[in-house]
Homo-oligomer: A and B are copies of this chain.
Amino acid sequence: MIFVCIMWMLGDDGVLKAPAMSRLELLQQQALHHNRAFDILESLTVEVGPRMAGTSHDLRGVQWAKHKFEELGFDEVWLEQAQYPSWIRGEATCEIVDPFPQPLAVTALGTSVATLDDGVTAQVVSFENLDALKSADPLEVSGKIVFINQAMERSNTGRGYGKAVVVRRSGASEAARKGALAVLIRSIGTDSHRFPHTGLQRYDEDTEQIPAAALSNPDANQLQLALKRGPVTLRLFLSARKGPMFSSFNVIGEIKGREVPEELVLLGAHLDSWDLGTGALDDGAGVAIVTEVGRLISNMRERPRRTIRVVLFANEEQGLWGAKAYAAQHESELNRHMIAAESDFGAGPVWHFTTAVREKALPFMHQVAEALKPLGVDMGDNNSYGGPDLRPMMELGLPVVSLIQDGTDYFDYHHTADDTLDKVDPKALSQSVAAFATFAYMCAETDVTFSDEHIHE
């Protein structure tokens, strides 16, 4: 930390002064040496538990968040409505009917339609990946259950997800286009446990809507080994269905800036989870991190110049509905949003820092990077992804950073029943709090602006 201090005092930019740095050091130490974020996460996952968008648990999550912000001393706390179509998971069963009768562990994919009451019973046609399905002869696919056996690669960046998730997103419509009765995918996940991974799929408008579900990785192996022995008949039953339109809320809390409270540094996470687990990693951890950063900064002896706004977005999982509502509601004042970061990649530690800011702001971002270095964070490019809930605002010009958490194990639990509190390391969570607090405090204390659109320029 001494190294950082010296760097700072000698910095030719001179934006922050030494006293601010020692406040930053104190902030980092407080983040690292308490596990308050874990306490917040425990509170959310125990007292609310699963909180799928469009359910009563969704609204309980909103109440929890509002009370938590108030209890932690945020200056202002309010709700902003977000509406979306709901989806009801219902029941899901799958079994090999012939030649080796046995159940397979399965879950419906989000927005899937139901099967008939008796399920769909049909022969399986298997494809190694989506491309193989796309190039298949419809005669081989028609009247069958399509199984897409594409496996996801493990990495700390989660880059395997981008490659594999297209199977989940588009598998049903691609299969329907060839006349399939239903689609089953190998779970988009890196574990070898019998937890199927749910997640959103989307029907193309020009194809029939067929039932879509995921097998756990061991069950996908099992089906593959059965198919190696000859033709396999499966029965898939889903009672998933559309629910009514639903109103929930983005939950917003602010720690007012001491000099320019109208200028905002936004910290985001999403409050909803899938229903199978308690969403400890996705995205309870993010909720806990940004909430604890808010609490830490609200407790500082001297507030930073700008306001910290913590936004817990509604319904990220089923299509960024909260994020879209926020972007629409705040479009006219988006230039008050100086910069944003989101935590939605588990419990972490942060290891990499990327930015998406104007060139002129990069010297300052290098200062932020220097302050992150003692936490084990290195600096990357200026082409940051931001975060899912920041995308609608990024399209409108919002500058962002990414504090990228280690996601090596994230997709072992992602969207499964196994996404629970025991998977979270309190120390790693605290390191993420320290990293997000460093970013938030420095960007709120500076008068540097990050976009050419911003009010100061």
Tell me if A49 and B100 are in contact (CB < 8 A). Answer: yes
A46 contacts which of B48, B103, B229 (Cβ < 8 Å)? B229
Contact (A46, B225) CB under 8 Å given A102-B57, A193-B193, A194-B277:
yes
Closest to A49 in B: B102
Q: Does A195 contact B (CB under 8 A)?
A: yes
Listed stretches A18-26, A137-145, A215-223, A355-363; interface member: A215-223
Closest to A276 in B: B194
Tell me if B100 and A218 are in contact (CB < 8 A). Answer: no
Q: Interface range on chain A: under 10, 10 to 19, 20 to 34, or 35 or more?
A: 35 or more
Q: Does A422 contact B (CB under 8 A)?
A: yes
Q: Does A198 contact B (CB under 8 A)?
A: no
Closest to A223 in B: B46
A229 cross-chain contacts in B, Cβ below 8 A? 46-47
Tell me if B194 and A194 are in contact (CB < 8 A). Answer: no
A50 cross-chain contacts in B, Cβ below 8 A? 102-103
Listed stretches A385-393, A413-421, A430-438; interface member: A413-421
Q: Does A408 contact B (CB under 8 A)?
A: no
Q: Does A105 contact B (CB under 8 A)?
A: yes
Q: Does A192 contact B (CB under 8 A)?
A: yes
Closest to A51 in B: B102
Tell me if B48 and A100 are in contact (CB < 8 A). Answer: yes
Q: A residues near B, CB below 8 A? A: 42, 45-50, 56-57, 96, 99-103, 105, 192-195, 217-218, 221-222, 225-226, 229, 277-278, 417-418, 420-423
